[in-house]
Amino acid sequence: TGFHAFVKWTSLKATWCPGSVNNEHCFQDVPRTVASALRSGWRKVKGSTCHNKGAFNGFRMVKNDNYAVTPLYDRHGIIAGVQVNILKSELFATPNPYKYNKVSDYLDNSIERHPVYSLTAYFVNPTSICDKRKKMRRLQLEGTGSRLYFQTGNTPKHLRRVPLYRNEAEKSYTSTNCVATMGHHNYYDVPNMHLSNCTKIIPSFLLFNNNGELHGFGQTNVGKLSSPSLEHPDGHAVKMGLDPITPKCMLHMADAHKSPGYSNIHFFFVDAPQSIKCEPINQTKVVGKSIYINPNAFVKH
């Protein structure tokens, strides 16, 4: 295998849609600067600061009160991460078996006085987000970001670092199926999901291209949520991502008569997710010193 340059993270897009659906929320561009966000109808979240009383880092922005896609920006107005905020008022409107208060990925939080659980993903080291010295050039140098961290506690010090190479990631995120227009899926510790009857599964999943390079990620949430950015897979769709080892409790959560179902979301770092195809993985070798850093981050491109 010849040397292959790692996939460049040139975009940030939210929400997967099937080919038959096309609306403004499908593969929506999430602005990568505050300036472009303001130009395209986003607004700053009321009361947003960079340190957010120590709970997470980054200035929050939102469009049309759609809190499910809340990008985070650094002090220079450059994309630094994204927060998926799910309204408690909707989550618990019907009986919900998922133990939100027992899964540390879900931050007990609020946004504009709405109580929410927040899933926070960072594309840079969170310690750099509120640093005045970082400059605008980062977007030109790094693209959307240099890494993917999920916050796993009530401060940004609690992080799960994601390996950007699938053969490394699968040590904790189990390799499952490939789906065209999404990529190769990896869900956290699938063989043990049944131990909690799927009521305490880690919500994040990873998406890789055919070279085994991270090009996106997603979040699964149990509950009927109304945000137009969220996807509501039935059991058949759940199997598409999790086969050949789909846990029965994941199917039950999707389809059972009294189950609230799922409200999921995909995020992509690449320009044209609709053209993603599935082929057997030809794994890229680690470039640079770290499995956690996109090697393009320190190269001008």
In a domain, 6, yes or no: no
Residue 264 carries which DSSP code?
B
Q: Is the peptide bond before 203 cis (omega within 30 degrees of 0)?
A: no
Q: Does residue 149 lie in a domain region? A: yes
Residue 301 belongs to some domain of the structure? no
Per DSSP (E only), the strands in the chain are: 13-14, 28-29, 43-44, 59-62, 70-73, 79-87, 107-111, 114-122, 149-151, 159-161, 173-179, 183-188, 204-208, 214-219, 265-268
Task: Give the list of residues 6+ apart from residue 16 with CB closer than 8 angstroms, or none.
Answer: 26, 27, 181, 182, 218, 231, 265, 266, 273
How many folded domains does the chain comprise? Answer: 1
Q: What is the spatial distance between Cα 17 and Cα 180, in angstroms, rounded to a whole number? A: 11
Tens place of pLDDT per residue across the chain (301 aa): 334 578 999 999 999 998 888 899 999 999 999 999 999 999 999 999 999 999 999 999 999 999 999 999 999 999 999 999 999 999 999 899 999 999 999 999 999 999 999 999 999 999 999 987 756 566 666 678 889 999 999 999 999 999 999 999 999 999 999 999 999 999 999 999 999 999 999 999 999 999 999 999 999 999 999 999 999 999 999 999 999 999 999 999 999 988 999 999 999 999 999 999 999 999 999 977 799 998 887 654 3
Residue 297: inside a domain, yes or no? no
Tokens in use for 287?
């470039």
Q: Is 5 within the bounds of a domain?
A: no
* Domain assignment of residue 4, yes or no: no
CA-wise closest residue to 181 among 264, 268, 282, 121: 268
Q: Is residue 8 part of a domain?
A: no
The values of phi and psi at residue 183, to 5°, are: 125, -175
* Residue span of the structural domain in which 41 resides: 13-292
Residue 299 lies in a domain: no
Token readout for 30 is 């999430």
